[in-house]
């Protein structure tokens, strides 16, 4: 019985927070299999002040193609004490899979209250895990003269011509050379198991309002990140050799600082010929 991952995003939701605010959407997901009672799978994280949320939370289920399986998704505004509903939709898992290539599919549904909810279903396969730890180096300060940015980053892959976030780090307060926690990224989700697939790392200044400010971005790949680690992108702030840093650029293509790869390792997959040594591990 295959394991599948369910991811959600929405566009153009109706704002129900009033004239002077923007809704903070959260989604609650329930599953129905055959004639069984609905089971709540859980809820997404809240995304502040947006009508176009892309939730990072992924829901995992064991899917039997011979059993009719559906999910219901209800979106609420957490800004309102009563958790007022912003919209809801039902997705047949088999129908979403059929909308793609049989192992991955995306389907959108118009919501009665306004906007569109998208459901992406991906069959999980064992492509291994990518362990990644990054440090920012002299990031551009976008907070002005009297304070410093609170940086976090997103790793994005191209989905139907748009960069879609598949991982979001924690933010580090008041630090232009932050060291972020190590992340464990599923390679099937991150890059479809293709180490050369283009990725984008985007660094933002975290804002409590949810209106985060862009610091800079860089296009890369798993292979390039492994190479940066192997050939010395160690992130020592005193290291004069910056050849292995990833250069960030802002919207105007200006220098926005750099990223150093503190650790990059493949876990649970055959070792590529091009990368040997400590960037590969058999550990779980």
CB distance 83 to 77 below 8 Å: yes
What is the value of pTM for the model shown?
Answer: 0.77
Is the CATH code 2.60.40.150 the one for domain 129-281?
A: yes
Is it true that 3-123 and 129-281 share their CATH fold? yes
Which one, of 204, 217, 210, lies nearest residue 142 by Cα?
A: 204
Question: Tokens for 14?
Answer: 């109706």
Instruction: For residue 63, count other CB atoms closer than 10 A to its CB.
Output: 21
Q: How far is CA 187 from CA 73, 214, 266, in A?
A: 26, 26, 9
Which one, of 113, 94, 111, lies nearest residue 103 by Cα?
A: 94
Question: Tokens for 133?
Answer: 């730890």
3-123 CATH pick, 3.90.1150.10, 3.40.718.10, 2.60.40.150, 3.40.190.10: 2.60.40.150
In the chain, where the domains are located = 3-123, 129-281
**CA atoms of 180 and 57, how far apart (whole Å):** 19
SS3 228: helix
**CA atoms of 175 and 172, how far apart (whole Å):** 6
pLDDT in tens, the chain (284 residues): 688 999 999 999 999 988 888 999 999 999 999 888 999 999 999 999 999 999 999 999 999 989 999 999 999 998 766 568 999 999 999 999 888 776 788 999 999 999 999 999 988 877 889 999 999 999 999 998 889 999 999 999 988 788 999 999 999 999 999 999 999 999 988 998 899 999 999 999 999 888 899 999 999 999 999 998 877 655 444 444 565 789 999 999 999 999 999 999 999 875 554 444 444 454 54
């Amino acid at each position: 019985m295959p394991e599948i991952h369910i991811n959600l995003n929405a566009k153009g939701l109706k704002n129900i927070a009033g004239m002077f605010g923007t809704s903070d959407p959260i989604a609650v997901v329930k599953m129905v299999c055959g004639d069984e009672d609905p089971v709540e799978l859980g809820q997404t994280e809240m995304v502040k002040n947006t009508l176009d949320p892309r939730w990072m939370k992924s829901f995992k289920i064991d899917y039997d193609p011979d059993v009719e399986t559906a999910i219901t998704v209800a979106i609420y505004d957490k800004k309102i004490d009563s958790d007022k509903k912003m919209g809801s939709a039902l997705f047949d898992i088999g129908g979403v899979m059929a909308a793609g290539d049989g192992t991955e599919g995306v389907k959108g549904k118009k919501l009665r209250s306004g906007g569109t909810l998208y459901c992406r279903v991906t069959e999980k396969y064992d492509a291994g895990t990518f362990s990644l730890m990054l440090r920012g180096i002299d990031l551009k300060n976008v907070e002005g003269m009297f304070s410093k940015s609170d940086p976090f980053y997103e790793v994005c892959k191209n989905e139907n011509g748009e960069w879609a976030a598949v991982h979001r780090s924690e933010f580090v307060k008041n630090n232009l050379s932050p060291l972020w926690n190590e992340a464990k990224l599923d390679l099937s989700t991150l890059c479809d198991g293709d180490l050369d697939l283009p990725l984008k790392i985007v660094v933002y200044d975290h804002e409590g309002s949810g209106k985060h400010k862009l610091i800079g971005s860089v296009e890369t790949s798993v292979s390039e990140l492994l190479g940066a680690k192997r050939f010395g992108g160690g992130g020592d702030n005193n290291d004069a050799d910056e050849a292995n840093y990833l250069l960030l650029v802002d919207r105007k293509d200006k220098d926005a600082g750099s990223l150093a790869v503190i650790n990059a390792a493949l876990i649970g997959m055959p070792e590529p010929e091009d990368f040997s040594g400590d960037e590969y591990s058999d550990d779980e």
